[in-house]
A and B are shown apart, each in its own frame.
Chain A
Amino acid sequence: MTNLPQEPTKKLGLVIDLDICVGCHACAVNCKEWNTGGYGNALSDQDAYGASPSGTWLNRIHSFEAIPQDAQGQPVPSDARIVHFPKSCLHCDDAPCVTVCPTGASYKRAEDGIVLVNEDHCIGCGLCAWACAYGAREMDEAAGVMKKCTLCVDRIYNDNLPEEDREPACVRSCPANARHFGDLADPQSDVSVMVAARGGVDLMPEQGNRPVNKYLPPRPKTSSCASSNEEEAPNLVKLAQENTRGGAAQSGFLGWLDNALSRM
């Protein structure tokens, strides 16, 4: 059913914290592991041990190098940072991947907003992947159907799993707790609160897809030149001067030592 549902009342999605993601690929591999035996066809690998291995993944980790700018807008390469960036389907509210699908295989669930592919109906035309600006869909070469992040729909409601495990595989496995799962339509939910507090952003808002998943940007960092601490730093120096630099370093230091010992 390729018409989008009316604004779902529940919008399940992920919040990804770029400030803490260390780029370890755990979420990506665990996602592949869970999903290769889970919902829909296996995630196949081609030329697995050969010259040009490739495979179907529902989540991939990119790393970017960002060069900050100074007050004059000039780049400061010496303060370049690496930002690790995981990416899976964002379960967009205005999901173009759904509306372009000719077969109705691609759909957005009315009850929770999860965007899914009915693989039995998918003809593997690839149009939905073209329609997705984020590269969140991958055609499985072996099955000839479109694969994408299911938000672990076969975990989050799965009665066979203990309650605490009913969350996406990538969220459960992320060692750095950089991935959070919840209802982004509910402003009170943990994820919504986090997004509000940390200024969570949409990816490519200009594409007009209204993604549900949000990214928390890296927090500001002290530049390696540490100039921002210049004001605080002198305290220690001053203390040092009072205590040791007065006369010969030795006697100053010893003076301090005497004091310190007598205070014990």
Chain B
Amino acid sequence: MTQHKINTSQKVSDEVKKTTCYMCACRCGINVHMCDGKVRYIEGNRDHPVNQGVLCAKGSAGIMQHYAPSRLNTPMRRVGERGEGKFEPISWEEALSTATEWLAPIRKDDPSCLAFFTGRDQSQGLTGWWAQQFGTQNFAAHGGFCSVNMAAAGIYTMGGAFWEFGSPDWERTKLFMIFGVAEDHDSNPIKMGLSRLKEREAKIIAVNPVRTGYNAIADEWVGITPGTDGLFVLALIHELMGAGKVDIDYLCRYTNAPWLVIDNPGGADDGLFARNEAGEALIWDKKADKPCAYSEKGITPEMAASVSLADGRRARPVFALMADKYLDDKYSPEAVAEATGIPTSQIKSIAYQLAKTAFEEEIVIKQKWTDWKGETHSEMRGRPVSFHAMRGISAHSNGFQTCRSIHLLQILLGSVECPGGFRFKPPYPKPSSAHPAPGRPKGPETPLSGPPLGYIHGPEDLLVEADGSPQRIDKAYSWDAPFSAHGMMHMVISNAYAGDPYPVDVLFMYMANMSWNSSMNSGGVMEMLKAKNEDGEYVIPKIIYSDAYESEMVAFADLILPDTTYLERHDCISLLDRPICEPDAVADSIRWPVVEPDRDVRGFQSVLLELGGRLGLNGMTGEDGKPLYKDYADYIINHQRKPGIGPLAGFRGEDGSQSGRGDPNPGQLDAYIDNGGFWSEELPEAARFYKHANQDYQDWAVKMGFFDAPQPVTFQLWLEPLAKFQLAANGHGEHIPPEHIKEQIKACFDPLPDWYAPFEGERLDNVNDYPYHAITQRPAAMYHSWGSQNSWLRQIHTKNPLYVPGPICDEAGLVDDDWAWVSSHHGRIKVQIKRMEAVNNKTMWTWNAIGKRRGAWALSPDAPEAKKGFLLNHLIHELLPGKGDGLRWSNSDPITGQAAWYDLRVNIEKAEVGEGVSEPAVPAQEPLKENGQTELRYGQEWTS
């Protein structure tokens, strides 16, 4: 018998269109194979700097998202009550004129009555600028509840952050420590990187209460108790400093370790740097026996002794202060073992491994380079230890300090921006001082003084009224959270509801599921959105929302602006926002409509530009008073932030031959499309390491337009702006915090990286009432709430169990599939559990954002996501347990305002099965349309 014959060379597609994935924020390049005008197959783009051809589960399920029945079809106006989900379709003209009618008067009277908050946004370059032109300071994206601790700690300490703005030197590192990461924004690059490490048999140490995913494949696991990483890292620092295993040369050259700090307890200058007239910080030169500006060449710094300045004041080098602090026995491995849940021997062993790898396995690249002081170096010396950290570190009320501790450890080892270490991605590093302070409101019909989000350097930069009360609706940049560089989106709704500090008129949101998984206290937030005044009007009068899908938030909006899917619109992944650069290359990219929308939907950015034009905003309105830009594509090409600098850095100039700076190029988008949807340019060889101090890099960065003059960074181990706040809390200076905040500032704003216990546990009357920790993790195959509408992805995570450590199960008498009540100071939820051993034994966890509201996302109301899925968010309150002082303390990092999701403390007890449904069971929202589709055979028409 002959074997069946098959055609192994089937036609794959008619055409391949290269664009950028947006199944998550990682921004991978994709090849979209088109057949008969439909998407046949999506694969990774091999040439793309981010993913180099690979594609994750979400990216591969793009087809099912693009064609999901949950897509919105048309603009809508609410007809039922808020939260019900009842709408009537309206035309775009009606939608846009309604929005204009709502917004124009606000701009005339008081622009701050508009709160404009965007979520999973990749166009803050545009949205922030729009808010600035509108004149409202009440703008932010999701960073405040996401990872501002990471971003701010990185920028303030070393001019760049882990997050997406840097990466381990995957090709050279020999010891890699990863703290608190499940998926990350860099999800494909991290997986690729871990794989590279494994190939080279480099060691991976994972610090995480849960041993799944990346942590499962690590060579060593540190099953830490949540919120104690700072202690663990400071114990490592204690060991390394005690053993003299720190890179003194590196510290002298690149950090403020030798800078002199005024030693004047009780004085108004205590803790500030000694500076010369020009304001430059001073270092004591031992050879010359006098202070010199830190920028001078050839200093032999005093690192230990207390010195006397010319004016008689005493000062001590930062390094001496560090020795005082970190050599203290309270940071010894023995002292922290119990709190961290990490055995003393393991802490010591890790300290040893760090020292050994950094100092005995040094690597050297023969590459001449010149530093910013003009000194040339014949080689680039590398300490092949690198770190990465994400939300497990940042989503705590001590996250800023913990993240700074991690940076301090890296810097002590001399492993930042060196071969084998942690590397910045251009346009970083950039000193915090090079970022503008947050823009200030300037009154009606006037733009803000600058972009709404920025970096503050002292109390004088806060956005507070004369009486100290916050100027922003989210209280960002107030005494509550001075360094809140990304705003505090998680506080907007509750503050607007409470009218604290003031009420708003319009809440305008984009791409954020704020009534559900992106809010703390989701149940409470839904009530706030529905709440009415005595006069029957909603407390938050008007809500405009742009979503592409039938999310939980849609049901709470008054006006819906339906967005396109990511395959239907232009997007710009810009150097002005969160670009796709790599340590060795600068890069940005676009999305473009590879499929035409088949519904009455419009790209949000285009809509925003049109609204800007209708409102007459600066830069968006033509001389004829009409919108200046035809659409977002037009803006991407023609908008210039500064002469020669636009949203895209590639193919600039009339003929597209320039990069970085250059005139707008009408063919720019086509050039991107021809190039695979992105542009990238490699750094000169000599500019690739030590970017913070590398003159070659600095010159190149200026040429590219990252900054207009070189901006070298001196790593700030001692963070002077924090010292300024402590001084203010002690009553010094013009800007004094309100009484009730003083103690918190004194306790938490240590200018040296420090650890204090996470707030929620500390604020409980009796910690033993809630002896356990509960956290969430990102599932790799699901993106927040929006993966559940995807028929393929939802089969993987149709519901979420709570994973409970074996010892807790034994104590509570729980076995697999039991139902349990989990309670916090704020509420209780009923969930189904699974036993697990590979987890810190005080910590239970679940996958994030799987639980859905009934009726949402075009799922049937009895979908398991709604019946057995659940959100931990119902247990997390946006405010801390009351202290009886009548004050509202936000459940956030006191420095940055970062939402402290992972401070949650809980208890657990067995529940009756009852109906076998998780609680709280939020009543259904009305589905927008019947979804009759039950069986899918996607692709049947192309099969052979």
Contacts and interface: CB of A to CB of B under 8 A. Distances in A.
A/B contact in complex, CB under 8 angstroms: yes
B352 A48 contact: no
Nearest to B53: A172
Given A29-B57, A153-B6, A83 B194 contact: no
A161 B937 CA distance: 24
A42 B938 contact: yes
A139 to B, nearest CB: 14
Given A25-B57, A142-B935, A236-B245, A51 B195 contact: no
A244 B217 contact: no
Interface stretch (B119-127, B269-277, B342-350, B600-608): B342-350
Contacts of A77: 806, 837
A257 B304 contact: yes
Contact of B937 (A44, A80, A219): A44
Contacts of B12: 158, 160-161
Interface string B918-936: 0000000000000101111
B932 to A, nearest CB: 10
A71 interface: no
Contacts of B349: 226, 229-230, 232-233
Contacts of B44: 172-173
Contact of A84 (B216, B248, B798): B216
B6 A116 contact: yes
Interface in A226-260: 226-227, 229-230, 232-233, 235-237, 239-240, 243-245, 249-250, 253-254, 256-260
Contacts of B699: none
Nearest to B324: A250
Interface in B1-30: 1-4, 6-12
A49 B934 CA distance: 6
B248 A264 contact: yes
B345 A230 contact: yes
A237 B243 contact: yes
B54 A175 contact: yes
Interface in A9-37: 19-26, 28-30, 32-34, 36-37
B463 interface: no
A61 B858 CA distance: 27
A46 interface: yes
Contacts of B6: 39, 116, 118, 153-154
Interface stretch (B513-521, B707-715, B859-867): B859-867
B188 A175 contact: yes
Interface in A100-157: 104, 107, 109-110, 116, 118, 121, 141-143, 153-154, 156-157
Contact of B793 (A29, A39, A54, A156): A29
Contacts of A5: 3
A159 interface: yes
Nearest to A225: B343
Given A82-B211, A233-B345, A224 B223 contact: yes
B216 A83 contact: yes
B43 interface: yes
B249 A264 contact: yes
Contacts of A233: 345, 348-349, 351-352
Interface string B49-77: 00101111111110100000100000000
Contacts of A74: none
B11 A160 contact: yes
Interface of A: 1, 5, 19-26, 28-30, 32-34, 36-55, 57, 63, 65, 67, 77-78, 80-84, 104, 107, 109-110, 116, 118, 121, 141-143, 153-154, 156-161, 164-165, 169, 172-178, 218-219, 221-222, 224-227, 229-230, 232-233, 235-237, 239-240, 243-245, 249-250, 253-254, 256-261, 264
24 contacts: A1-B1, A20-B194, A26-B54, A33-B42, A33-B61, A43-B939, A49-B860, A53-B794, A55-B791, A78-B841, A154-B6, A154-B10, A160-B9, A160-B10, A161-B12, A172-B44, A175-B187, A226-B343, A229-B352, A230-B345, A233-B348, A244-B242, A244-B327, A261-B252
Given A172-B54, A240-B242, 4 more contacts: A32-B60, A38-B939, A83-B216, A161-B12
